[in-house]
Amino acid sequence: MTHPVRRPIAANTWIWTSPLTDENIGSLARRIAELGFDAIEVPLENPGDWDPGLTAHLFAAQGLTPVVVAAMGPNRSLVARAGDVEATGGYLRTCIRAAARVGASVVGGPIYAPTGSVWRMDAAERAEVGAELRRNLVPLAAEAADAGVTLAIEPLNRYETSVINTVDQALDLLGPVLGPGLGLLLDTYHLNIEERQPVDAIRLAAGAIAHVQVCGSDRGPVGPDHTDWPGILTALDDVGYEGILGVESFTSDNATIAVAASIWRPLAPTQDALARDSLRYLRRLADS
Residue-wise pLDDT tens digits, 268-288? 999 999 999 999 999 999 988
Task: Check if the beta carbon of residue 280 is closer than 8 Å to that of residue 1.
Answer: no
Between CA 137 and CA 163 the distance in angstroms is: 15
Measured distance CA(238)–CA(267) in Å, rounded: 31
Quote the pLDDT of residue 6. 85
Phi, psi (deg, nearest 5) at residue 153: -90, 130
Quote the radius of gyration of the chain (alpha carbons, Å).
18
CATH topology of domain 9-287: TIM Barrel (3.20.20)
Is the CB of residue 132 less than 8 Å from the CB of residue 78?
Answer: yes
pLDDT value, residue 4: 67
Look at residue 259 in the predicted model and tell me its pLDDT. Answer: 83
Amino acid 43: pLDDT: 98
- Pseudo-torsion of CA 284, 150, 168, 192, nearest 10°? 30
Round to whole Å and give the CA distance between 262 and 285: 29
pLDDT at 63: 98
For the beta carbon of residue 34, count every other beta carbon within 10 angstroms: 11
Cβ(3)–Cβ(233) under 8 Å?
yes
**Ranges of the chain with pLDDT below 50:** none
